[in-house]
Structure 1
Amino acid sequence: MKLKLIVLGILVLSSCSTAKLVSTWKNPDIVLFDAYKVLVVGMAKDEAVQMDFESKLVKKLEEKGVEAMRSIDLFDVDFTSSQKSEEELSEVEQQLLDKDFDAILFTKIVGADSKRTLKERINNIDRMFMRFNADYLEHQDIYYDPEYYDSFNIYHLETSLYCICVGKERELIWRGNIDMTESPNVDKAVDTYIKLITGEMEKQDIIFY
């Protein structure tokens, strides 16, 4: 089955909804992390899936008293219609600072197990991106390459929390990696993913504590 969806990582589980936390990483200099205004970014070709994921995650953040905004409400159509340079992403980060954002919650697919690979990116699944712009640049083909995903069964998803606070160099605060099996029920997949990832963040005193 060809899945034209996700992103954000979003997506994908079987009817029995299999989702497994594979690993997490937390900045050793951080005991707990509070965020007051978070930008939720989900990379997805399918705009409906991206909207559903970002909307549900924003709602979850707001339930915790955290102001949040979907990237689809902040970035105009032109932003994702062309590839961005490091300089342009640095400008975006500065704009976020100017708008009082202090964190970016970024989700995407980084690999999949099947007969075909994610443009060979599965070989880079263990790479650690410490800056948002480097992470975005590495994976922005999700928007443009029609063969980025094809006939996958198990998806490797990743959610990263970046601080964009002044003086903290917009560094990586926390990262979670989850494996999910493909499913025709996208809504259920999104709900399962958000529940799992936010539950783990709560255990580690990252926003949801």
Structure 2
Amino acid sequence: MKTLNKILSILILIIMVTSCSTVRVVSNWNHSKELNLNDKRIMVISKTDDNIVRSQFESDLVNKLREHGLNSMESLTVFPKIDTEVKLNENEVQKIVEDLKNKGVDIIILNTLKDTQEYTRTEITGGGYSTLYFPTYFRGPNGTFYRYYNSIHVKSEPESTITHTGKKYILETVIYDLTKTDNEQLISVITTEIDNPKSLGTISKDFSKQIIKKLIK
């Protein structure tokens, strides 16, 4: 039975370590306590050449924004292709901003992959201790035997080590308010960490939930 329990515990640990994907916010900066996104048209942009990833992340975040009554749209519907290698000068950036304003866009939510980090994690199972109690006798000064209980600690099972290699993705979400002056347009920066993602759909939805929590109080 102990062997079976040990095998089951190892299998559960493997599933937890290799299958779970987590999204957590590691930093959050807002220009002001209240981000007023009401009555404004929001465009969500995911900066990637992979249109499958781009479409998933943009549509999930847009759907979450709409659930809160916010007017939002995916950039994919306006800009079908994004070349992330092209570097724009200040005039070109300003022209794009003006074009977005002319299309009625007030807020831009830009998601960018900033870094990836590989890691190795070691998990140790087993090696627990059991306590054994046993009676001990000693002779008292009047020749009478007294009994008390002593104890020892012994290992109940050997240790097992599981080593797992994973990857973390660091994403940065930057929010601009195009209705403000140039030096006040940056209103929020959110950095998230995605640990060892397995499913694009699940991760994208979890990511959207975390971003919404920071944007809408």
Q: TM-score range by the shorter chain?
A: 0.5 to 0.7
Tell me how far 1:195 sits from its aligned partner. 0.7
- The answer on 1:46 being equivalent to 2:50 is yes
Tell me how far 1:56 sits from its aligned partner. 1.3
Offset from partner CA, 1:13-54 (integer Å, 9 cap, x none): x631222211100114x5332241011000123211111111
Higher share of residues assigned strand: 2
| Number of the residue aligned with 1:144 | none
Change over 3 Å in CA distance of 1:182–1:91 after alignment to 2 = same
SS in 2 for 1:199: helix
| Number of the residue aligned with 1:31 | 34
Aligned with residue 200 of structure 2, among 178, 182, 186:
186
Change over 3 Å in CA distance of 1:157–1:166 after alignment to 2 = closer
Number of residue pairs matched by the alignment: 153
- The answer on 1:15 being equivalent to 2:19 is yes
Q: Distance in 2 between matches of 1:95 and 1:69?
A: 15
TM-score, structure 1 as length reference: 0.65
| AA of the residue aligned to 1:85 | L
| Number of the residue aligned with 2:134 | none
Higher relative contact order (CA 8 A, sep 6+): 1
Change over 3 Å in CA distance of 1:82–1:111 after alignment to 2 = closer
Q: Distance in 1 between matches of 2:84 and 2:208?
A: 27
Aligned with residue 112 of structure 1, among 111, 116, 130:
116
| AA of the residue aligned to 2:44 | V
Aligned with residue 103 of structure 2, among 79, 89, 99:
99
The alignment-based identity, stated in percent, is 25
Change over 3 Å in CA distance of 1:21–1:168 after alignment to 2 = same
| Number of the residue aligned with 1:163 | 177
CA RMSD of aligned residues (A): 2.3
| Number of the residue aligned with 1:133 | none
SS in 1 for 2:19: coil
1:126-137 alignment, distance < 5 Å: none
Kept in 2, the 8 Å contact 1:152–1:182? The answer is yes
| Number of the residue aligned with 1:197 | 211
Q: Distance in 2 between matches of 1:165 and 1:20?
A: 30
| AA of the residue aligned to 1:165 | T
Between Structure 1 and Structure 2, whose CA radius of gyration is higher? 2
Contiguous gaps of at least 5 residues in structure 2 = 1-17, 120-164
| AA of the residue aligned to 1:66 | L
- The answer on 1:55 being equivalent to 2:69 is no
Tell me how far 1:65 sits from its aligned partner. 2.0
TM-score, structure 2 as length reference: 0.63
Q: Distance in 2 between matches of 1:31 and 1:183?
A: 32
Change over 3 Å in CA distance of 1:82–1:154 after alignment to 2 = closer
| AA of the residue aligned to 1:48 | I
| AA of the residue aligned to 1:33 | N
Tell me how far 1:152 sits from its aligned partner. 7.1
